[in-house]
């Protein structure tokens, strides 16, 4: 992997956040349950540990932590560049994606598509699409999965 370089993960803004399609109840349920039950419980425990702490010092970090998964679900993109032919990297990329639970669903001369079947994902959300260029692979998918993918390939 010495001849491979990774670009930074860049977020893709497909539409403004207020124009996006609403998520299904299956997608929102775990996150809403965590926000409704888990965060207040965490705040109560932290307040019980140190009752003298001002409430904003407990509430604001807990809410920021509850909103963190939203940042990880957005779409992103990165490139794997090499001096050799990019088709030589496809085996490594395929192995890394299989270890993350993805399966190849479609492939043609210029692109590959991977999908991880999860019951709470709507349609093809969470899919990873790989565009094959002569000396680079452009990988598009959820930011959290892309970070895990870079760690798996870089190790």
Q: Is residue 2 included in any domain, yes or no?
A: no
**Pair 61, 118 in one domain:** no
> What pLDDT is recorded for position 9?
84
* pTM attached to this predicted model: 0.65
Q: Is residue 138 included in any domain, yes or no?
A: yes
Q: Which residue has the tokens 């994902």?
A: 121
**Pair 135, 145 in one domain:** yes
Polymer length in residues for the chain: 155
Q: Is residue 7 included in any domain, yes or no?
A: no
**Pair 148, 79 in one domain:** yes
> What pLDDT is recorded for position 106?
79
Q: Is residue 5 included in any domain, yes or no?
A: no
Q: Is residue 65 included in any domain, yes or no?
A: yes
DSSP per residue, 63-97: HHHHHHHHHHHSEEEEEEEESS-GGGGHHHHHHHH
> How many domains in the chain?
2
**Pair 92, 55 in one domain:** no
Q: Is residue 132 included in any domain, yes or no?
A: yes
> Which residues, given as ranges, of the chain have pLDDT below 70?
1-2, 14-27, 69-73, 118-125, 155
Sign (positive/negative) of CA torsion 48, 51, 55, 56?
A: negative
pLDDT tens for 41-53 read: 888 888 899 899 8
> What pLDDT is recorded for position 19?
46
Domain boundaries, position 38: 23-72
> What pLDDT is recorded for position 79?
92
């Amino acid at each position: 992997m010495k001849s491979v370089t990774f670009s930074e993960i860049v977020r893709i803004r497909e539409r403004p956040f207020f124009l996006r399609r609403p998520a299904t109840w299956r997608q929102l349920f775990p996150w809403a349950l965590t926000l409704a039950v888990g965060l207040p419980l965490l705040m109560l425990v932290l307040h019980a540990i140190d009752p003298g702490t001002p409430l904003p010092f407990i509430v604001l970090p807990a809410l920021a932590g509850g909103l963190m998964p939203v940042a990880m679900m957005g779409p992103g993109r990165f490139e794997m560049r090499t001096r050799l032919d990019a088709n030589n990297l496809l085996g490594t990329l395929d192995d890394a994606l299989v270890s993350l639970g993805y399966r190849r669903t479609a492939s043609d001369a210029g692109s590959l598509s991977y999908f991880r079947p999860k019951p709470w994902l709507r349609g093809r959300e969470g899919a990873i699409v790989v565009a094959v260029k002569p000396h680079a692979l452009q990988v598009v998918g959820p930011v959290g999965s892309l970070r895990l993918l870079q760690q798996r390939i870089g190790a």
